[in-house]
């Protein structure tokens, strides 16, 4: 794109921090006595995951999964390649999936299905961002950070071509002049 991008802060660092603390509190209350497995979806969820688990005040186990969605209109929701699987046993345990952003919903829908196939007792979804406009699959988000409209966002783990993940604020990328 000629002229590159302009970037505008959409959700500031402090706002993110406060919301993640709240989510940690709610999850702690909901899962007290159940020792859930908290599973981060790589790469985008890294910072959200790290901040969230440190705001959870009950014992949890942690692991990561990496998935690439390749859904199309002709396929049912939830076709993905798992390129790095969960490695700790989740059979019989509640799992909390931690995702950066739910856009079409393909990734989360497929990963939930996969987690249930691994024998988890149930699978909750905690997403930092819900971007509903392009949703193709009906996914239930149990714990949500923020709902946003359209637009491409970066920062706090979210990337554009692997760039900008390190930004502390969540920003909207806008085409430059
Ligand atoms: P899905 O369409 O819900 O399967 O989302 C797939 C992935 O697309 C997400 O996990 C993000 O990594 C990426 N994604 C979707 N929208 C955005 C965005 O606005 N910024 C950065 N990444 C995005
Ligand atoms: Mg992602």
pLDDT digits (tens, 9 = 90+) for 86-110: 999 999 999 999 999 999 999 999 9
> Which residue out of 43, 70, 139, 158 has the highest number of ligand 1 atoms within 8 Å of its CB and is therefore the one to mutate?
158
**What CA–CA distance (Å, rounded) separates 89 from 84?**
15
Active-site residue numbers? 103
What's residue 107's pLDDT? 93
Is-contact 54 111, C-beta < 8 A? no
Q: What pLDDT, in 10s, does the model give residues 118-154?
A: 999 999 999 999 999 889 889 999 999 999 998 899 9
What's residue 95's pLDDT? 98
**What CA–CA distance (Å, rounded) separates 149 from 158?**
16
What's residue 1's pLDDT? 46
The CATH class of 13-148 is: alpha beta
Residue 93 Cβ < 6 Å to ligand 1? no
**What CA–CA distance (Å, rounded) separates 119 from 64?**
16
What's residue 176's pLDDT? 76
**Which numbered atom of ligand 1 lies nearest the CA of 151?**
19
**What CA–CA distance (Å, rounded) separates 40 from 174?**
28
Residue 107 Cβ < 6 Å to ligand 1? yes
- Per-residue pLDDT band at 5 (split at 50, 70, 90): confident
Residue 105 Cβ < 6 Å to ligand 1? yes
For residue 134, the SS3 value is helix
């Amino acid at each position: 794109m000629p002229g590159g991008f302009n970037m505008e802060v959409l959700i500031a660092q402090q706002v993110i921090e406060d919301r993640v603390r709240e989510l940690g509190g709610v999850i702690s209350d909901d899962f007290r006595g159940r020792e859930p497995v908290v599973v981060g979806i790589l790469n985008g969820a890294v910072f959200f995951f790290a901040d969230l688990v440190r705001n959870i005040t009950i014992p949890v186990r942690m692991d990561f999964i990496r998935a690439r969605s390749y859904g199309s209109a002709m396929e049912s929701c939830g076709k993905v390649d798992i390129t790095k699987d969960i490695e700790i046993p989740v059979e019989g345990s509640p799992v909390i999936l931690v995702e950066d952003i739910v856009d079409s919903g393909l990734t989360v829908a497929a990963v939930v299905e996969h987690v249930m196939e691994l024998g988890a007792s149930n699978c909750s979804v905690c997403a930092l961002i819900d971007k509903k406009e392009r949703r193709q699959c009906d996914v239930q988000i149990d714990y949500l950070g923020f709902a946003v409209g359209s637009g491409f966002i970066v920062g706090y783990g979210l990337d554009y071509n692997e760039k900008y993940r390190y930004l502390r604020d969540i920003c909207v990328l806008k085409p430059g002049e």
